[in-house]
A and B are shown apart, each in its own frame.
Chain A
Amino acid sequence: MSTELAELGAVPASWTRRHLLGLEELSAEEITTILDKAQVFRDAMAAGRQKTPLLVGKTCVNLFFENSTRTRTSFSLAARRLGADTIDFSASTSSLSKGETVIDTAKNLEAMGVDAMIVRHRTPGTPKLLAENLNCSVINAGDGAHEHPTQGLLDILTIRQRKGRIEGLTVALVGDIAHSRTARSNIWGLKKLGAHVIVCGPSTLVSPRWAEIGIEYSYSLDAILPRVDVFNLLRIQFERQYGRPFPSVREYAHLYAMNRDRLARTKGDILVLAPGPINRGVEVTPDVADGPHSAILEQVTNGLAVRMAVLWLLASGRR
């Protein structure tokens, strides 16, 4: 068993965070620290060293109030590869249906000896509410349309691997910006690392107010095609929308799907990301999703590395 990862080093003295609630509150240095450490885990995986038992004796709990497959599995696997014990807790089987408050539920779990709580919830701010009421580390695994920091980090790590840098790149987030926590985490992370960010989609889902914080907005994918380095194609979040923000899925795909024709009008050496689950034929056509510009599966692998890095940074020194 290869237990040591010498390249990882120690948790940097500059790292003082207990929680990961979003990328908005992190500095560029903190984001870079996570990305660098994630890259070490990623390289170790590529070299066949899957397990690095740095968190033996620690307990991580997945507290998911919303459905999830990939994020939940990714966090569980990340914790296990670090040697931590994991507990899965889903709202449907919980006492929440008996009227217990979210804080009480979390406190009860914490009392079982939890070092890190990974929280997904439909409501923005719930991870923060828990962080303020618990002693363990809280990791936001998606709070409503607010943030999904590990998704943002894995997107950015993927871009950095393929493009070699973030600074100076033009990154377009395309789709349902209004309801996307992935968009928000990408916006903060990319902005702090010096990328130019464009949010693109129908005017009912893309607010001009983004310009107030230095984010370009566009309603026309066709117009921005020639000057974008990375396209991050966001899913239409039907489950978060109230009323229809556009007339039909057909019309949406007509205006915003990344297809072969649009690909041909880009710079050429572009990168296509999608946080998944992807709707083939809506935001991206299969030929593009499975083509050479796509990094969709690399994103999944990087997700594991990012979550290992985050768990290690937050939980290794505690207790």
Chain B
Amino acid sequence: MSRILIRNGRVIDPSRRVDRVADVLIDGGKIAAYDVAADDAEVIDASGKIVAPGLIDMHVHLREPGREEDETIATGTAAALAGGFTSIACVPNTEPPIDSQGTVEFIFGQAARADHCNVHVIACVSQNREGKELAEIGQLVEAGAVAFSDDGSPVVDPELMRRALEYCLMFDKPVLSHAEIPELTQHGVMHDGLTALILGLGGIPPAAEDVMTTRDITLAEATGGRLHMMHVSTGGSVDAVRRAKARGVRVTAEVTPHHFTLTDESLRSFDSNFKMNPPLRGQGHVTGCIDGLVDGTIDVIATDHAPHAKEKKMQELDRAPFGIIGLETALGLVVTKLIEPGHLDWPTALAKMTINPARILGIDKGTLAPGADADVTIIDPNARWTVDPSKFRSKSTNTPFAGWELHGRADIVIVGGRIKFGRR
């Protein structure tokens, strides 16, 4: 395998609290050494660039198997690379759902054939994602699943959730919670606020998320299990996680770029690209999410990349499915909406996209320590670019950010010592 020398970049490796200009040598697919000469290596001049551990997105809907009209493993992982991600974790609400070793192996096979970025598998908590019986978690762990979730739906039955947290303990795997009380969100299209009132659209109240967040935290506390709250969208849930962490509950949490960027007022356009679940909330909740990112309550920035084919989104607002894509806009939104306004510095922001998700998923990624897999993202922090969905690698274009000018993007993406993406 070829040797690559990344020269003169600002190396930010939150896993080791490193932030300095350095030369990084990659050899044999691993991070080999720092600040050494290597005459035979391919040289990448990273002056003025940021050299970061390959970004990790722990919440991606790849849609395959079952909904290849929206996305495939090949197109989704290509989109990930273009967004600067070297590893993603896919959630199991596919058709069939990822609840068997065979499906896990199918995903690994497709990912290997696509040969873009690393794919980690989150498998179902329950058989067939029905919320009734536990999936064969032990065998799924053997097949390579890194975490368990019924995402897309909550685990409604508290007894099943309690058992899942308990059972996953013996494999040291986290349960990822999509927090929603279904009876409180029925027929809801958007956040239950003034905008929904004016537009006459069914509301999804923050309490629908907060009640379930609180339940799951209580169950994690009772069992000692590892809980991760997906796509937190309310100030109340951020607060619940904050208080739980303070008393030692093993809980972590993520927010999506759209939840720290947009508010429910965007729906005034009636554009279904602003329809997602959990919904865009009011400004107070956006501020709550940003506060959680700032004080460390929120560990992870994850996209909840949810592709939907155009014909599905171009429907009446109540029929159009929930969800937007995010892989190719996430980094730009983090830079533009969190780093440049001064909410987060670069190391803190990158930690939430590298080592933090790696630790939650228990994967040996997210670090530039010597000997680690050479997954590296070289970021141009000063790039100014306009979001153009027609240039996306994703198969779907359902983004609310079309036409936005964003700052910062991935220039070169290296996976396992091979340059997999370059913007030239």
Give residues in A with beta carbon < 8 Å to B.
24, 101-103, 121-126, 128-129, 143-147, 179, 181, 184, 207, 209-210, 212-213, 242
Across the interface, do A129 and B200 meet the contact criterion of CB distance under 8 Å?
A: no
Across the interface, do A124 and B193 meet the contact criterion of CB distance under 8 Å?
A: no
Q: A-B contact count, CB below 8 Å?
A: 55
Complex interface: chain B residues within 8 A of A129 (CB): 270, 316-317
Across the interface, do B316 and A125 meet the contact criterion of CB distance under 8 Å?
A: yes
The number of residues on chain B lying at the interface, defined by a beta carbon within 8 Å of a beta carbon of chain A, is 18
In the A-B complex, the 4 residue pairs with the closest CB atoms: A125-B270, A145-B200, A146-B200, A123-B316
Choose one: A128, A144, A213, A242; the contact of B200 (CB below 8 Å).
Answer: A144
Q: With both chains docked as a complex, state the minimum distance between the C-beta of A200 and any C-beta of chain B, in angstroms.
A: 16
26 A–B contacts, CB within 8 A, in A order: A101-B314, A102-B315, A103-B314, A121-B316, A122-B318, A123-B316, A123-B317, A123-B318, A124-B201, A124-B270, A125-B201, A125-B270, A125-B317, A126-B316, A128-B270, A129-B317, A143-B200, A144-B318, A145-B201, A146-B199, A146-B200, A181-B200, A184-B198, A207-B197, A209-B193, A242-B202
* Distance A24 CA – B199 CA, assembled complex (angstroms): 10
Q: Is residue B187 within 8 Å, beta carbon to beta carbon, of the partner chain?
A: yes
User: Nearest chain-B residue to A243 (Cβ)?
Assistant: B186
Q: With both chains docked as a complex, state the minimum distance between the C-beta of B412 and any C-beta of chain A, in angstroms.
A: 39
User: Nearest chain-A residue to B188 (Cβ)?
Assistant: A242
Complex interface: chain A residues within 8 A of B40 (CB): none
Q: Is residue B319 within 8 Å, beta carbon to beta carbon, of the partner chain?
A: yes
Binary contact track B302-317/A, C-beta < 8 Å → 1, others 0: 0000000001001111
Complex interface: chain B residues within 8 A of A102 (CB): 315-316
Q: Is residue B402 within 8 Å, beta carbon to beta carbon, of the partner chain?
A: no
Complex interface: chain A residues within 8 A of B187 (CB): 242
Across the interface, do B186 and A125 meet the contact criterion of CB distance under 8 Å?
A: no
Q: With both chains docked as a complex, state the minimum distance between the C-beta of A103 and any C-beta of chain B, in angstroms.
A: 6
Complex interface: chain B residues within 8 A of A213 (CB): 194, 198
* Distance A147 CA – B194 CA, assembled complex (angstroms): 15
Binary contact track B281-293/A, C-beta < 8 Å → 1, others 0: 0000000000000
Across the interface, do B197 and A210 meet the contact criterion of CB distance under 8 Å?
A: yes
Q: With both chains docked as a complex, state the minimum distance between the C-beta of A141 and any C-beta of chain B, in angstroms.
A: 15
* Distance A313 CA – B97 CA, assembled complex (angstroms): 55
Across the interface, do B317 and A124 meet the contact criterion of CB distance under 8 Å?
A: yes
Across the interface, do A24 and B311 meet the contact criterion of CB distance under 8 Å?
A: no
Q: With both chains docked as a complex, state the minimum distance between the C-beta of B179 and any C-beta of chain A, in angstroms.
A: 21
Binary contact track B241-279/A, C-beta < 8 Å → 1, others 0: 000000000000000000000000000001000000000
* Distance A181 CA – B197 CA, assembled complex (angstroms): 11
User: Nearest chain-B residue to A148 (Cβ)?
Assistant: B200
Q: Report which residue of B194, B197, B314, B316 has the largest number of chain A beta carbons within 10 angstroms of its beta carbon.
A: B316
Choose one: B186, B194, B198, B314; the contact of A24 (CB below 8 Å).
Answer: B198
User: Nearest chain-A residue to B202 (Cβ)?
Assistant: A242
Across the interface, do A212 and B199 meet the contact criterion of CB distance under 8 Å?
A: no
Complex interface: chain B residues within 8 A of A123 (CB): 316-319
* Distance A125 CA – B319 CA, assembled complex (angstroms): 12
Q: Which chain B residues numbered 163 to 216 have a C-beta less than 8 Å away from chain A?
A: 186-187, 193-194, 197-202
Q: With both chains docked as a complex, state the minimum distance between the C-beta of B104 and any C-beta of chain A, in angstroms.
A: 34
User: Nearest chain-B residue to A103 (Cβ)?
Assistant: B314
Q: With both chains docked as a complex, state the minimum distance between the C-beta of B89 and any C-beta of chain A, in angstroms.
A: 34
* Distance A209 CA – B314 CA, assembled complex (angstroms): 30
Q: A24-B198, A147-B200, A242-B186 are in contact. Are A101 and B270 (CB under 8 A)?
A: no
* Distance A144 CA – B316 CA, assembled complex (angstroms): 11
Complex interface: chain B residues within 8 A of A179 (CB): 200
Q: Which chain B residues numbered 291 to 342 have a C-beta less than 8 Å away from chain A?
A: 311, 314-319
Choose one: B194, B199, B314; the contact of A125 (CB below 8 Å).
Answer: B199
Q: A124-B270, A125-B270, A212-B194 are in contact. Are A101 and B200 (CB under 8 A)?
A: no
Across the interface, do A101 and B194 meet the contact criterion of CB distance under 8 Å?
A: no
Complex interface: chain B residues within 8 A of A144 (CB): 200-201, 318
* Distance A24 CA – B311 CA, assembled complex (angstroms): 29
* Distance A124 CA – B193 CA, assembled complex (angstroms): 16
User: Nearest chain-A residue to B315 (Cβ)?
Assistant: A101
* Distance A8 CA – B198 CA, assembled complex (angstroms): 34
Choose one: B200, B202, B314, B317; the contact of A184 (CB below 8 Å).
Answer: B200
Q: With both chains docked as a complex, state the minimum distance between the C-beta of A95 and any C-beta of chain B, in angstroms.
A: 15
Across the interface, do A209 and B200 meet the contact criterion of CB distance under 8 Å?
A: no
Binary contact track B232-248/A, C-beta < 8 Å → 1, others 0: 00000000000000000
* Distance A199 CA – B315 CA, assembled complex (angstroms): 32
Q: With both chains docked as a complex, state the minimum distance between the C-beta of A209 and any C-beta of chain B, in angstroms.
A: 5
* Distance A125 CA – B268 CA, assembled complex (angstroms): 9
Complex interface: chain B residues within 8 A of A143 (CB): 200
Q: With both chains docked as a complex, state the minimum distance between the C-beta of B315 and any C-beta of chain A, in angstroms.
A: 6
Complex interface: chain B residues within 8 A of A101 (CB): 311, 314-315
Q: Report which residue of A124, A209, A212 has the largest number of chain B beta carbons within 10 angstroms of its beta carbon.
A: A124
* Distance A124 CA – B194 CA, assembled complex (angstroms): 15
Complex interface: chain B residues within 8 A of A122 (CB): 316, 318
Q: With both chains docked as a complex, state the minimum distance between the C-beta of A112 and any C-beta of chain B, in angstroms.
A: 22
Q: A101-B315, A124-B317 are in contact. Are A209 and B270 (CB under 8 A)?
A: no
* Distance A240 CA – B71 CA, assembled complex (angstroms): 35
Complex interface: chain A residues within 8 A of B315 (CB): 101-102
Complex interface: chain B residues within 8 A of A242 (CB): 186-187, 202
* Distance A192 CA – B315 CA, assembled complex (angstroms): 32
Q: With both chains docked as a complex, state the minimum distance between the C-beta of A142 and any C-beta of chain B, in angstroms.
A: 10
* Distance A143 CA – B202 CA, assembled complex (angstroms): 13
* Distance A295 CA – B311 CA, assembled complex (angstroms): 46
Complex interface: chain A residues within 8 A of B198 (CB): 24, 184, 213
Complex interface: chain A residues within 8 A of B318 (CB): 122-123, 144
Q: With both chains docked as a complex, state the minimum distance between the C-beta of A210 and any C-beta of chain B, in angstroms.
A: 7
* Distance A265 CA – B311 CA, assembled complex (angstroms): 56
Q: Report which residue of A101, A147, A181 has the largest number of chain B beta carbons within 10 angstroms of its beta carbon.
A: A101
User: Nearest chain-A residue to B195 (Cβ)?
Assistant: A209
Q: Report which residue of B194, B199, B314 has the largest number of chain A beta carbons within 10 angstroms of its beta carbon.
A: B199
* Distance A124 CA – B319 CA, assembled complex (angstroms): 11
Q: With both chains docked as a complex, state the minimum distance between the C-beta of B205 and any C-beta of chain A, in angstroms.
A: 12
* Distance A209 CA – B200 CA, assembled complex (angstroms): 13
Q: Report which residue of A122, A145, A179 has the largest number of chain B beta carbons within 10 angstroms of its beta carbon.
A: A145
User: Nearest chain-A residue to B201 (Cβ)?
Assistant: A124
User: Nearest chain-B residue to A147 (Cβ)?
Assistant: B200
Q: With both chains docked as a complex, state the minimum distance between the C-beta of B137 and any C-beta of chain A, in angstroms.
A: 36
Complex interface: chain A residues within 8 A of B201 (CB): 124-125, 144-146
* Sample of 14 more A-B contacts, CB < 8 Å, known A125-B270, A145-B200, A209-B197: A122-B316, A123-B319, A125-B199, A125-B317, A126-B316, A126-B317, A128-B270, A129-B270, A144-B201, A146-B200, A212-B194, A213-B194, A213-B198, A242-B186
